[in-house]
Amino acid sequence: QEQLVESGGGLVQPGGSLRLSCTASGFTLDYYAITWFRQAPGKEREFVAAITWKSFTTYYGDDVKGRFTISRDNAKNTVYLQMNSLKPEDTAVYYCAAGQTIVNNRFDSASEYEYWGQGAQVTVSS
């Protein structure tokens, strides 16, 4: 079965760090761009970060630039999202998505992705 599985979510205090993982099973991530989105209660889904498959170029949403880092380890078929200096407004369900062809670098467009994970809850609270 082809699927993406997120892990590493949890509860953390403001200013803390978490690392999310997105692991593929049943297919290889080598030729897929991987993007993290998040959705907070009552809010629309938001683009967080993306990494391409060929040059490992990264893109970030304005709200997370300088605090989050996306990376990939193709040998482990896994993409990571290192989240530092977390704020309460980072609280959301985080989803990873895989897409082979991202048209016009529209990484923020959900329709570009073939696979989605089930989501991982991140809660930032004291």
Q: How would residue 39 be classed by pLDDT, with cut points 50, 70 and 90?
A: very high
77-86 pLDDT per residue, tens: 999 999 999 9
Count Cβ atoms below 10 Å from residue 113 Cβ, excluding itself: 21
CA distances from 49 to 1, 2, 43, 101 (A): 26, 22, 18, 16
* Statement: residue 26 has pLDDT above 90: yes
Q: What confidence tier does 30 reach under pLDDT thresholds 50, 70, 90?
A: very high
